[in-house]
Chains A and B, each alone.
Chain A
Amino acid sequence: DVKVTQSSRYLVKRTGEKVFLECVQDMDHENMFWYRQDPGLGLRLIYFSYDVKMKEKGDIPEGYSVSREKKERFSLILESASTNQTSMYLCASNLLWETHTEAFFGQGTRLTVV
């Protein structure tokens, strides 16, 4: 069974903390994505990566960074968490060359910054 696993389902952090959200996939996918989901705003792309050590900015990269040291792992970093980063974060992955195939999603991390 194919899987994208996010390290935490729920997370509560304090303002100013450095926060790491981890995502691991076991499908040997080249592409990995981080989205945040907010009511009325849908899924907004933060960063994505098509290879180890490669990263591309999405539509809302401000306040975030990412790391991809291994093919299967893609980390989202909030350098200094703020309350406006309270959200649901979704990780996804798909194949680089099989562009007709779907993306697979993790279960989501509900982050609350207090």
Chain B
Amino acid sequence: AQKITQTQPGMFVQEKEAVTLDCTYDTSDPSYGLFWYKQPSSGEMIFLIYQGSYDQQNATEGRYSLNFQKARKSANLVISASQLGDSAMYFCAMRGVTGGGNKLTFGTGTQLKVEL
């Protein structure tokens, strides 16, 4: 079984500040991938960043970075220099790789609001 937990239903951040969105996971799969998606109010799902369980370095994509702590089973998303356009719902997701691991599981999401 695999499970994603996002404990922050809502977050506020000031423009130009950095913000961390929490994600913890649980899986019995020895190999897995972690994803973050953004969903603006328009409803589309936008892929942000990926981290593989065996990747040695934390993933980065522009202003997004993933703080991956395997022993703690956490995969927090860090957004640097927040912009008003970052206001959206953010979802953490996990995909197992072995043992029939095609399942893609999402968390409950964090609603981020960027303020002036």
Q: A and B from one assembly? A: yes
The residue from B47, B52, B91 contacting A43, defined by CB atoms under 8 A apart: B91
The residue from A59, A96, A102 contacting B102, defined by CB atoms under 8 A apart: A96
**Which residue numbers of A lie inside 8 Å of B, CB to CB?**
31, 33, 35, 40-45, 48, 50, 56, 58-59, 88, 90, 92, 94, 96, 99-103, 105, 107-108
- Cα of A88 to Cα of B42 in the assembled complex, Å: 13
- Cα of A99 to Cα of B47 in the assembled complex, Å: 14
Q: A100-B52, A102-B47, A102-B50 are in contact. Are A48 and B102 (CB under 8 A)?
A: yes
- Cα of A103 to Cα of B95 in the assembled complex, Å: 10
Residues of chain A with a CB closer than 8 A to B50's CB = 100-102
CB distance from B26 to the nearest CB of A (A): 14
Extra 4 A-B pairs, beta carbons < 8 Å, given A40-B108, A45-B103, A99-B101: A43-B93, A43-B106, A50-B102, A108-B43
Residues of chain B with a CB closer than 8 A to A101's CB = 50
